[in-house]
Amino acid sequence: MKQVKAAVLEAFEKPLAIREFPDPGDPGPGEALVSIEIAGICGTDVHLWLGQLAIPLPNIMGHESAGRIERLGPGLLKDWRGETLRVGDRVTWASSISCGECYYCRVKKQATRCLTRKAYGISYCSTDAPHLRGGYAEKILLRANTAIFRIPDSVPGEALIGAGCALTTAIHASERAPLEWGDTVVVQGTGPVGLAAIAVAKAAGAGKIVAIGGPPHRLELARGFGAEVCIDIAQVTDVESRRRLVHEAVGPYGADQVIECVGYPLAVNEGILLCRDGGQFVVLGQYADAGNIDFNPHTITRKQLRVIGSWGFEPRHVDRAIRLLERDATLREKFAAGITHSFSLAQADQALQTARSLAGGKTVIRPNQVAGA
């Protein structure tokens, strides 16, 4: 029987191991076997590798990937949008499947909080057949009811994975905390989520956008995505000076919306400070539990703030991300250009270590590319 190679996380903080699994052969009803062309390494993968989130081991990581349909199971005729699916089509897919039946899926319509939600590259143990449930592999077997999307010809895999789950995450946040046209926005953090939040705010009709982050090359990217004012935290090191610069940019009352994309708990205090009274504060960066901070809740009451959390995304946000990239050539170029490092599957561990050491540049694995090519 043919074998399929995958990079496996067997123990936290230990090198990924290349292992072989049996090729699943013909997919079952509603399933799809996909040959992976490009898999992004997300900041979350680094948290997973460090053991900061509860996942089963061993685990084939990789929750933002694209590839070509190799085989289609019986009954799988169309993608999530209703477009015909064929063998050879370039596709991507929503990383999670929610149950559609639980309290959050059915009653509260918040499928990202589904009680039994499972995500490719995160929730599956690779010893459980059919094993191939992550992107760091030559192939993935997509379960029935996966939201699969045909990728338009105009959208290269590099643009899609360069944008990655950061873009879909930012689109979900924008749905939960909609802007009014011309609203001023401050984005804290210029990692992948921060840059995507800037791009989405711009597309959603924001007025002046201010980015706070670094290092300088990330601020340059932020400017390219639509931030008119960029504040380098290494140059402007105190909160009061940053507040003054923000007020100079957006006016004396503060920003209509502040989006925290830092993941550092103290950024929350600064974000609240930068909001105008009655503004919106979106907490989007606290994906790992980084602990408690001193915090004065009086400010929320007094400023009449709306504080909004947002977790992950649903298939409709993947749909919107693809549409956004399809109609905006400049965004496609910028997201693709954000990929700074590319590795073969054999070099998956090196890829992960590179992602870990970088201040935000995007690293990808090309699982079907030969090492050194």
Question: Is residue 151 classed as helix, strand or coil in its secondary structure?
Answer: coil
We find the least distance from the C-beta atom of residue 198 to Zn ion, in angstroms, to be 18
We find the least distance from the C-beta atom of residue 347 to Zn ion, in angstroms, to be 20
306/341 with CB nearer Zn ion: 341
CA gap 240, 235 in Å, rounded: 13
Strand partners, 92: 66, 149
Cα–Cα distances (Å) from 349 to 7, 73, 131, 162, 275, in that order, read 8, 32, 19, 19, 41
Could you list the residues that contact Zn ion (CB under 5 A)? 42, 44, 98-99, 102, 105, 114, 165
21/49 with CB nearer Zn ion: 49
Radius of gyration of the chain (CA): 21
CA gap 263, 290 in Å, rounded: 8
CA gap 373, 369 in Å, rounded: 7
Check residue 108 and report its DSSP letter: S
We find the least distance from the C-beta atom of residue 106 to Zn ion, in angstroms, to be 7
We find the least distance from the C-beta atom of residue 163 to Zn ion, in angstroms, to be 11
We find the least distance from the C-beta atom of residue 23 to Zn ion, in angstroms, to be 27
95/188 with CB nearer Zn ion: 95
167/230 with CB nearer Zn ion: 167
Q: Judge contact between 71 and 27, C-beta under 8 A.
A: yes
165/206 with CB nearer Zn ion: 165
Residue that the structure tokens 């599957």 belong to? 345
